[in-house]
Structure 1
Amino acid sequence: MPRIQPSRMRHCASVGAVFLGALFLVGCKMHTLTEIYVKDIAYVLKERESVNTPAKFKIEMATESKCQEMKGQVQEMMERYLPSFKAKSCISEGMDDYLVAEAKVPVYAISDEEESSGQPQGLMWITVTRGGEEDKGVNVHASLNQNAFRQLDAEMEEQFDDGLDLEESIFRFRLNNDTRTVQSGYALYSYVDGAPYRVFRFDLPERERIEIQPSDVAISLLNRQGSAGVVYFPQGISPQE
């Protein structure tokens, strides 16, 4: 298991879902889990090519019957902004009803020059950046296309009489060490495997994984600035085949 140097938060609000705080058809919550693989991070940094990573969505609906009724409409709308979006099924858990969906989220490596000249296309993505010439660190951010999000919000409001509420959503990232070496890093102001931390430092063994849920401060940054930090590797990444 990862070595933990705990510095726990006394309070940490429940937070938003991966980029889309979307699909709040009844003004409700959505749970999203996006996979992040260490080898993907290393690949996009080296090759300067994007890869896609899987994400799962569980969106709260008014009732299971309403979910079944609106499933096709949600699919048609969402695939215009996220082409890989697939509405799968409607489920009940206790007193709550959900639409379950899947999608692929792009992972990009972006330099300062590329950031100044434009942004990737699509609704959301994972951004990977490297430090300067003397900085080996690697940052992993959640990124949101704010123009596309506002357009989707307006379309939702018009069709379903209820817009999007990103800051009341929940999102999680599962960091998978699919290399053959220990990877070291940290996450700030996050829940990690369900426990709250101000700073969570980890030495993640090969083939292990941790689940990171950024705080509501990160969601506010994502909503207002289009980007929020997820995890940082101060010594970079050196995957071994």
Structure 2
Amino acid sequence: MGAHQPLGPAAIARTAAQIADSEGLEAVSMRRVAGDLGVSAMALYRHVAGRRELLLLMADAVRSPSMLPEGKHRWQDMLAHMADTLWQTFSAHPWLLGIVLSPRRLLNLAAPADVERLLSSLSAAGLTEDEGFDCLLGVSAAVIGTVSIAAAADPVPANPAPANPVAADSVPAGSRPQPGTPRLHGTDDYPRAERFSGRSVDYEFARQSLDYLVANFIRGIESTHNQTPDPSKDPGLRKEEHATAE
């Protein structure tokens, strides 16, 4: 280890995250991290109590400093940005799911300042505190669920964290079967179910589904609270526009 990079929790967490990025979370151990750093395992224990603490430090090392956009924004934009930031983080580091979803280790990747700011914005829009909690949990669950399915189907995505949402008109209509995908039994009389079972579940399609889900989640809240949606800021309308163009 060079003199410019002293051994400490941050350096240990970065090294562990690099191992997880390339080989998966199961490859991370105190002994392995120590080896990559060129020190003894005992040297690590002077800074990190054990693997459990190491996993939490790894999550801190890769999560975004803020889940929300800078400056003043509508709550709709804040929720959409939060979903995008979570997607970028989880798709770039799929092993993070194993930390966030582990028993007794459920993490909130959003900083307290972000949570306070978003809940305040939702409250100002007329939502109760419980409804605000539901919004945060709902968006987080949508991202975690969608990226979990994508990660299971495509463990090593070619482009895990696209900079922009996938436009609906860039995706061919219909399903895109994946080579070798087993055919679902008992679907002879259920053509839509058969097409669904043959659809490729990769990061590109998962992101499209997430965009659609989050956009309509936001539209539902707007409708419930009698707020007129802004079509120019609604990615959920892309599918409707594409269908109309056809």
Give the TM-score normalised by the residue count of structure 1: 0.25
Q: Which has the higher contact order (CA 8 A, sep 6+)?
A: 1
Larger Rg, first or second structure (1 or 2): 2
Which protein has the bigger strand share?
1
Which protein has the bigger helix share?
2
Give the TM-score normalised by the residue count of structure 2: 0.25
